[in-house]
Amino acid sequence: MSTVTVKQVRGKPPAKKYEPTPRELRALSAQENRRQQRQPSPRMKVTRKGSVQQIAPDHADNDTAFLLLMESLGTSSVDFASSIIAQLAAIEARNSEVDETTLNHALSFAKGVRPQDEVEGMLAAQMAAVHMATMTFARRLAKVDNIPQQDSAEKAFNKLARTFVAQVEALKRYRSKGEQKVTVEHVTVNEGGRAIVGAVSHGGGTDKDAG
C-alpha cells in the first residue's frame, strides 16, 4: 500500500508595490491631465492577407474608430483621412512593406499637432514626414565613413531641420490668420505733451533728465 505525502512549499512573498515619490506623483498627475485633454484616437494595425497588407484601426468598432481618426486629423472627409493615413504609411516603407510602428509614430505626430482643418492636417502630415527624414539623416551623419558622406548627410540634415522650423512658423501664421497684435504696456503723457510708450519707471530724476 503506497503512502502519499503532501509537502508544503512556501511561496515567495508578493513583491511590494512600488510607491511613487511626490515628484513622480505630480508628473503622473500631469500626464493623466494631458491624456484627458487629448482627443481619443485609435492606433492603426497592419495585417497581411495573402500578398496584400491591410491597414485598419485597432478598435472594436471600425465606424467609430474612423470618425475619431477624422476628428484628430481636422477633417470631416473620409477620403481625406484615408489619403493622409496611406501617405504616412508610405514613409520609410521597405519593398512596399508598411511598418506598423513607423506608421503609428508618424500618425501620432500628425495628431499631436491638433489640426483644425484640412490645410493644417496636410501640413501636420508633411511635418511628420520631414521630422522622420531629419532623423534618418541624423543617423546617417553619425555613421559616415568619409568626408563626402559627411558633407552630403550634413547638408540634407540642415535643409530638413530648417524646413521643419519653417513649417512650424507657417502653421503659426495660418492659425493666426495673418493677424498682427500690438500690446501697449503703459502710456505716459508728460506736461510738455510728449507720450512715452512702454514700460516706464520713475526714479529720482527730473523731466529735464528724462529728456
Give the chain's count of helices (H) and strands (E): 7, 4
Whether residue 14 lies inside any domain: the answer is no
Which among 119, 92, 103 is positioned nearest to 57, based on CA atoms? 103
d(CA 128, CA 125) in angstroms, rounded, equals: 5
Whether residue 132 lies inside any domain: the answer is yes
Whether residue 13 lies inside any domain: the answer is no
69: containing domain: 39-179
Supply the pLDDT for residue 5.
Answer: 59
Query: 22: part of which helix (H) or strand (E)?
Result: helix 22-37
**pTM given for the model:** 0.72
The region of weakest confidence among 143-152, 161-170, 173-182 is 173-182
Whether residue 23 lies inside any domain: the answer is no
- What residues does 197 pair with on adjacent strands? 187
**101-152 tens-digit pLDDT:** 999 999 999 999 999 999 999 999 999 999 999 999 999 999 999 999 999 9
Whether residue 46 lies inside any domain: the answer is yes
Terminal-residue alpha carbon distance, the chain: 117
The 3-state DSSP class for residue 18 equals coil
d(CA 184, CA 187) in angstroms, rounded, equals: 7
Mean pLDDT of the chain: 85
Cell numbers standing for residue 88: 504616412
Looking at the structure of the chain, the number of domains it has is 1
Whether residue 105 lies inside any domain: the answer is yes
d(CA 184, CA 190) in angstroms, rounded, equals: 17
Cell numbers standing for residue 185: 504696456
d(CA 179, CA 181) in angstroms, rounded, equals: 7
Mean pLDDT, range 50-57, rounded to an integer:
90
Whether residue 18 lies inside any domain: the answer is no
